[in-house]
Chains A and B, each alone.
Chain A
Amino acid sequence: GNSVTQMEGPVTLSEEAFLTINCTYTATGYPSLFWYVQYPGEGLQLLLKATKADDKGSNKGFEATYRKETTSFHLEKGSVQVSDSAVYFCALDTDKLIFGTGTRLQVFP
């Protein structure tokens, strides 16, 4: 069946460090892939998406590339800020969204 696997958290970084959060998926067909972010006490916000293989989604300095050959959609950011501290969810879309378990990012000054 369809599923998403994310790296375990928490990920703890200093400000301006490089961020990678791994996400791999199992799916039939070629679903759209998403990263959502959840700030403390808030709902889910779309961060970025990619709808087909080799697409790169980007927003607010975050990027992720839809890799069909490795079934991955890793999230990266070159220089994190304290304000990026949140939980990040990778998801695939087969009409319903299937989410990974979420990765908590903590950025310290």
Chain B
Amino acid sequence: EPEVTQTPSHQVTQMGQEVILRCVPISNHLYFYWYRQILGQKVEFLVSFYNNEISEKSEIFDDQFSVERPDGSNFTLKIRSTKLEDSAMYFCASRETGLTDTQYFGPGTRLTVL
């Protein structure tokens, strides 16, 4: 069964460093998402992406964040200058087409900012 994959599974970085989190969505899916979950808290929407552009972003998704689909398979989230409060689990999700389709989640990348 096709699945969303994410790398790395765990990333440790120093405050102020740039990180890139990578996702490979399911191959025939058109809509892509990033969410994050701070430890013990709820899952929060960051950004949605369709047709090579951002569809919607939350207030969390400030100028430090960017997303890209550099080729036909990868979908990346970049944090330019990490802060301690960026420490969280980051989940990528994808869905095939419209609103009635399910979003399928990857296993997540745990980001630890020291």
* Cross-chain contact of A32 among B33, B91, B100, B107 (Cβ < 8 A): B100
Q: How extensive is the interface on chain A, given as a class?
A: 20 to 34
Instruction: Tell me the dominant secondary structure on chain B's binding face.
Output: strand
Please report the number of residue pairs spanning A and B whose Cβ atoms sit closer than 8 angstroms: 51
Binary per-residue interface labels of chain A (17-56) against chain B in the complex, 1 for a CB within 8 Å, 0 otherwise:
0000000000000011010100000111110010100000
Q: CB distance A32 to B42 under 8 Å?
A: no
Chain B residues whose C-beta falls within 8 Å of the C-beta of A49 in the assembled complex:
102
B45 in contact (CB, < 8 A): yes
Q: CB distance A42 to B107 under 8 Å?
A: yes
Interface size for B (C-beta < 8 A) is: 23
If A43-B105, A96-B48, A98-B45 touch, does A51 touch B91 (CB 8 Å cutoff)? no
**23 A-B residue pairs with CB within 8 Å:** A31-B99, A32-B99, A32-B100, A44-B91, A44-B105, A46-B105, A51-B100, A89-B42, A91-B43, A93-B99, A94-B99, A95-B31, A95-B48, A96-B33, A96-B48, A96-B58, A97-B43, A97-B45, A97-B93, A97-B103, A99-B42, A101-B42, A102-B43
